[in-house]
Chains A and B, each alone.
Chain A
Amino acid sequence: MAEFQIDEKIDITDVKCPITFVKTKVALEEMDEGQILEVHLNGGEPAENVPRSVKEEGHEILDFIDNGDGTFELFIKKVGE
């Protein structure tokens, strides 16, 4: 488990791309700068696309952990307003 304070947590294992990123983006837009979002997501397409899209929007990826069961935990620090 990561050693930082999680401010919000979302589970996007029930949706497909691009709704995975849409839900992540909406969650980030409702947070304050510097807050941390934990995203529970599936391997494969979501694990490839969501971190890349989040980075393209300028946010910081703090950690990306393989849970070993086909799912991942992505920790994002919100950058910008």
Chain B
Amino acid sequence: MAFTNEQLERYSRHIILKEIGAKGQKKLLNGKVLIIGAGGLGSPVALYLAAAGVGTIGIADADVVDLSNLQRQVIHTTADLGRKKVESAAETMRAINPDVTVNPYYQFINSSNIMELIKDYDFIIDGTDNFAAKFLINDACVMAKKPLSHAGIVRFAGQLTTVIPGVSPCYRCIFKNPPPKDAIPTCKEAGVIGAMAGVIGTLQALEAIKFLTGAGELLSGSLLTFDGLEMAFHKIKLPPRGAGCAVCSDNPTITKLIDYDQPVCELKKKD
């Protein structure tokens, strides 16, 4: 595949980089990333991956754009209110970069559809806002051996890690089970700074780009936390994978996907 003059210009700042080059840009154009959640985290991920020329981007979400989303979900605009988030996000990504093929999936993930959703992608982004989805995505990615970027944000705090199944610790190695209902406030109850979604989601996009191109070191094996009030990043080295993990150890006790109950307050009333 040769670059067109337009592509050479569009991706010139990538191609110039020693760590990316023309080869890395081709890897991006051949890359396939699935973003689960078209909200606060998913927005910057989708924007930067589309701009970077990731050739195929899937985006899954079953919500519509709500006025309270616009403070942080920067891929959607006021004109998109009431539209399906995946449609709004797909339109923005296509407008940024016609090189990108966008696959919108207007559905919430669950134990019966997630394996089918992730199977054609190289890298999975967890941009969801609840523990049920985070554990489901983690377990599915471990079982399907799909690399995953996990992230979460609340108030002025954020965290992320990258999971390479079979190699680095998974989300369940760190957090064994979802917390009891109502033990942890959701973003909706606790609030969140919109720019936090930008900081953490952008780091997830960077991990996807590094994974696809092979540039640098991934965040696998470490948990990166960011305190926006103190303006402090901490990189915490994680214990090795597997020992005692219910899903990613060599003798897992979880071998089927689990649909945990999601706290009712998080569910959007559809009617």
Chain A interfacial positions (CB closer than 8 Å to B): 18-19, 21-23, 25-26, 29-30, 53, 56-57
Contacts and interface: CB of A to CB of B under 8 A. Distances in A.
13 contacts: A18-B13, A18-B16, A19-B8, A21-B16, A22-B9, A22-B15, A22-B16, A25-B15, A25-B21, A26-B3, A26-B8, A26-B22, A56-B18
B18 A18 contact: no
Contacts of A21: 16
A54 B185 CA distance: 54
B29 to A, nearest CB: 13
What secondary structure prevails in chain A residues at the interface with B? Answer: helix
Most chain A CB within a 10 A radius of its CB, from B12, B18, B21:
B12
Interface residues of B, number: 11
A29 B23 contact: yes
List 7 A-B pairs, minimum CB-CB distance, nearest first. A26-B22, A29-B22, A22-B12, A22-B15, A22-B8, A18-B12, A18-B16
Contacts of A26: 3, 8, 15, 22
Contacts of B18: 56-57
Nearest to B15: A22
Contacts of B12: 18-19, 22
A22 B15 CA distance: 6
Interface string B2-13: 010000110011
Nearest to B12: A22
Nearest to B3: A26
Contacts of B3: 26
Given A19-B9, A22-B8, A29 B21 contact: yes
A26 B3 CA distance: 9
A23 B3 CA distance: 10
B264 to A, nearest CB: 54
